[in-house]
Amino acid sequence: MPGFRVRSSLLLTVLVGLGLTSLVAQSSSSLVRTNPTQQYETVQATMEQFYRQGLLHSNIERQSGTYDLWNCTDPAEFMGSDNEGAPYDSALFKLVDLAETTTVWRKDLNQLGVPKQVWEPLVSRYESLALEQAGELKGAQSEAARNQMAAALNKYGQTSSPGLPRFIVEGGCGAGEIEVHIALQPPDGQIFLIPAFLYKLCQAQHLDPTNPRSCDRWTEVIHGAASYVSGDYVYLARWTDGSVRCGPLGFKSFDQEGKTFQITKLRSPECNPGW
């Protein structure tokens, strides 16, 4: 299996460690559909929003004369957990992983100047093979499918477009999470976090993303406790007097290690989750 895959420091991961506990029982998640292909279409459309916002990164920028078809992606970057124990989590992780990979391929191959009639059949075939297996090609299967894509793209480059990079299947990326604290001011309330991707996915499914009973992937941050985070989230703060505030929180730099993020109650409650 080529290289090792770890999560990007710019994207969405929560390793639920000292500070996060589940808000609701997740056995009846709102983010599950019985039809994997239908769910994949929603996941893919949401992933494309993140690419347009610069929250899913091109592979072009980290290449030099080559383009690696083994992307530095991890579904935990968007799902906010490494726990694949629950059946719905495992299913959704696979679809998110597939959508990350194919969205980057489509955007990058187009940007590199490969004609759509060349790359679209290759990407669509990979998607179809994966969806036949609930969204995931495993190990040698995935590597073989990517190697076939690389061979086809390199053949096109050699015969029709010598300026293209050499396509490879290699892998190997770096990054990590940071440890932070999140506190309320005044402290008489609760605060919840959701990865921004899951917030947007609830919106795409016409669920109220600010209602944890409808969009049930929020997690509660225990006041004063540390969490290991990386990427972009939405917070929801509730005080005992009924005040509510929500908005974006980004953890994008190792310089934020150990920092306390303070959410202050406003006289006029607001909820502005960002884009």
User: How crowded is residue 50: how many other Cβ atoms within 10 Å of its Cβ?
Assistant: 22
- H or E element at residue 226: strand 226-239
Residue 227 domain boundaries: 178-271
Query: Taking phi first (over 0 means left), then psi (-120 to 50 degrees means alpha), and beta for anything else, what does residue 188 get?
Result: beta
* pLDDT tens-place string over residues 24-77: 333 345 555 557 788 899 999 999 998 888 888 888 865 568 899 987 766 767
38 and 163 assigned to the same domain: yes
102-106, 139-143, 192-196, 256-260, range with greatest mean pLDDT: 102-106
Question: What is the CATH classification number for the domain harbouring 216?
Answer: 2.60.40
Computed over its alpha carbons, how large is the radius of gyration of the chain? 20
Do the domain assignments include residue 15? no
pLDDT at 154: 96
Give the position of tokens 């947007």: 200
In the predicted model, what is the mean pLDDT of the chain?
77
39 and 156 assigned to the same domain: yes
Residue 82 has pLDDT above 50, yes or no: no
> What is d(CA 101, CA 117) in angstroms, rounded to the nearest whole number?
19
Could you say which DSSP state residue 180 is in?
Answer: E
Give, rounded to a whole angstrom, the gap between the first and last alpha carbons of the chain: 37
Residue 108 has pLDDT above 60, yes or no: yes
> What is d(CA 56, CA 50) in angstroms, rounded to the nearest whole number?
6
Residue 189 has pLDDT above 70, yes or no: yes
pLDDT at 195: 84
pTM of this prediction exceeds 0.75:
no
Token pair in block for residue 33: 């559909």
136 and 182 assigned to the same domain: no
Q: What average pLDDT score do residues 177-188 get? A: 78
221 and 242 assigned to the same domain: yes
99 and 79 assigned to the same domain: yes
Domains identified in the chain, total number: 2
- Percentage of the chain with pLDDT > 90? 26
* pLDDT tens-place string over residues 240-252: 988 889 888 876 6
Q: What average pLDDT score do residues 137-159 get? A: 92
pLDDT band at 1 (very low <50, low <70, confident <90, very high): very low
109 and 217 assigned to the same domain: no
48 and 133 assigned to the same domain: yes
Give the number of C-alpha atoms closer than 13 A to the C-alpha of residue 211, restricted to the C-beta side: 7
Residue 107 has pLDDT above 90, yes or no: yes
pLDDT band at 224 (very low <50, low <70, confident <90, very high): low
> What is d(CA 189, CA 50) in angstroms, rounded to the nearest whole number?
31
User: What are the residues whose beta carbons fall under 8 Å from the beta carbon of 54, sequence distance 6 or more?
Assistant: none
Do the domain assignments include residue 135? yes
151 and 72 assigned to the same domain: yes
User: What are the residues whose beta carbons fall under 8 Å from the beta carbon of 78, sequence distance 6 or more?
Assistant: 11, 12, 47, 50, 96, 100, 195, 197, 198
Do the domain assignments include residue 70? yes
